[in-house]
Amino acid sequence: MAKLEVINHPLIQHKLSILRRTDTSTKAFRELVNEIAMLMGYEVLRDLPLEDVEIETPITKTVQKQIAGKKLAIVPILRAGIGMVDGLLSLVPAAKVGHIGMYRDEETLQPVEYLVKLPEDINQRQVFVVDPMLATGGSAILAVDSLKKRGASNIKFVCLVSAPEGVKALQEAHPDVEIFTAALDEHLNEHGYIVPGLGDAGDRLFGTK
C-alpha cells in the first residue's frame, strides 16, 4: 500500500487555515497555495539523491554533498494544480513541467481528460503530480494512469487537502504512488466536495466564480 504522509508543520497549518476561509481573496489564495507547496517541498523532496563533490573552502579542500541532478518533472493537473508549480520550482528550478488537463463532470463526478503535454523523456524522470484537492480520487487516478501509459514509473502525488475516500481510492488504484497532503479532512459531501475543505480550488485560484 502506498505511503500517505500528512505534512502538518505549524506554518503549513496556519497558512492552510487562511486558505480555507471564505473571505480570503483570490490574490491571497494564489500566494498561499504557492507558499504551502514550497513548504511541503522540503518533505516531498527529502529523498533527492546526493553525490559527493570536492570543493575548496578558504581553509582547505573538502568533499561535501550536492544534489545528484536526478531528472525531475512537476505535473500539475489543470487548472488548480498550476497554483502549486512555482512554489516547487523555487526549490528545484531545473525541473521540467508537464500538464494534464482534466475537469470533473459535475453530474457524474467522473474526470474528463482534455490535454496531456509532458516532457519527452518522462519515463526517465521522477514525477511529482500536483493538485490542491484529492476528493473522490478520480482525477488523480486518471492522471497517474495517463502518466504510466506514457512510460512514467516513478510517481508521487502532492496535494493540499485530501478526503479519506480519495486517499483510499488512489492507494488502491496505484499502490506504488506515495501521497503527500497538508491535511486529511473529514469526508466528502453529496456533491463530492471535501468537508471542511476550501471549496472549488480552481475557481478560488483563478477568481472564476
Annotated binding site for uracil: 194, 199-201
Q: How far apart are CA 9 and CA 3, in angstroms?
A: 18
Provide CB contacts within 8 A for 90, sequence distance 6+.
38, 41
Q: Which residues bind ligand PRP (CB under 6 A)?
A: 77-80, 102-104, 109, 111, 131-140, 166, 192, 200-202
Could you list the residues known to form a binding site for 5-phospho-alpha-D-ribose 1-diphosphate, using ranges: 79, 104, 131-139, 200
- Amino acid letter, 176: D
Beta carbon of residue 191, minimum distance to ligand URA (angstroms, whole number): 8
Q: Which is nearer to ligand URA, 88 or 201 (CB)?
A: 201
x-or-dash string of contact with ligand URA, 186-205, rule CB under 6 A: ------xxx--x--xxx---
Nearest to 76 by CA among 192, 183, 157: 157
Neighbours of 107 (CB within 10 A): 6
DSSP 123: G
Residue with cell 513541467: 97
Residue 134 binds which of ligand PRP, ligand URA, none (CB < 5-8 A, kind-dependent) = ligand PRP
Active site residues: 104, 108, 200, 203
Which residue has the closest beta carbon to ligand PRP? 202
